[in-house]
Amino acid sequence: MQSCFNVETKPQHPPVSFPYFYAVDESFWSLSNYIDWICKNMRILPQYKTCLDDFYDSLKWIHENMVIASYFRECAGKLIIDKELPETKELIRELKIQYERINNERYRESYKGAVKHDNDYLNDKSMDGFESTFDEPYKDTIMNEMTLKEEIMLPSSKGFNFYKDSFDYLLSSGVDVFETFHNYQAKVSKSCKFMTPAYWGILDLTNETLNGTDFTDKDIKELAQDFANSIKWESVPAEESVQEYFDNGCKRIYEIDENYETLKKLDNAIQYIKINTKGILTEEELKMSLIFPLFRGIFTSDHIQNVWGEIKVDSLNTQRVDMRSILIRTSNKFEAIYGKVVGGLQPIVVPTAHEEKRFLDKVALMIVMRDSLNDLLMKCKHVFDEQRMDIIVYGWLQVGLKLNFYAMDWRGNGMYRFGLIDQCTLPLNKNYCNMLEDTYCVLKSLENKLLETEQAVRNLFSNNVKGKCRGLVAENDPRLNLNKA
Is 372 among the domain residues?
A: yes
pLDDT of 388 reads 94
Separation of alpha carbons 464 and 170, rounded Å: 28
Q: What range does the domain containing 464 cover?
A: 177-469
pLDDT of 11 reads 45
Q: Point out the domain boundary residue: 111, 133, 150.
A: 111
H or E, element range at 321: strand 320-327
**Cα dihedral 140/145/151/157 (nearest 10):** -130
Residue 211 and residue 79 share a domain: no
Split the chain (485 residues) into runs of 10 and give each run's mean pLDDT.
44 52 79 85 76 87 84 88 88 84 65 46 43 43 56 84 69 93 88 88 90 88 94 92 92 79 89 79 85 93 90 61 94 95 78 83 94 96 93 95 96 95 88 90 96 97 95 92 83
Residue 184 and residue 104 share a domain: no
Residue 448 and residue 350 share a domain: yes
Q: Point out the domain boundary residue: 82, 111, 140.
A: 111
Residue 83 and residue 191 share a domain: no
pLDDT of 119 reads 47
Residue 183 and residue 103 share a domain: no
| 3-class state of residue 350 by DSSP | coil
Domains held by the chain: number: 2
Is 183 among the domain residues?
A: yes
pLDDT of 318 reads 57
**Cα dihedral 78/79/82/84 (nearest 10):** -120
pLDDT of 464 reads 96
* Predicted TM-score of the model (pTM): 0.71
Is 463 among the domain residues?
A: yes
DSSP bridge pairs for 325: 306, 337
Residue 432 and residue 354 share a domain: yes
Residue 370 and residue 283 share a domain: yes
pLDDT of 18 reads 56
Residue 203 and residue 87 share a domain: no
Spatial contact of 28 and 75, defined as CB atoms under 8 Å apart: no
Is 447 among the domain residues?
A: yes
Is 42 among the domain residues?
A: yes
Residue 457 and residue 373 share a domain: yes
Residue 439 and residue 308 share a domain: yes
Residue 185 and residue 96 share a domain: no
Spatial contact of 266 and 443, defined as CB atoms under 8 Å apart: no
Selection from 368, 365, 274 nearest residue 314 by Cα = 368
Residue 410 and residue 262 share a domain: yes
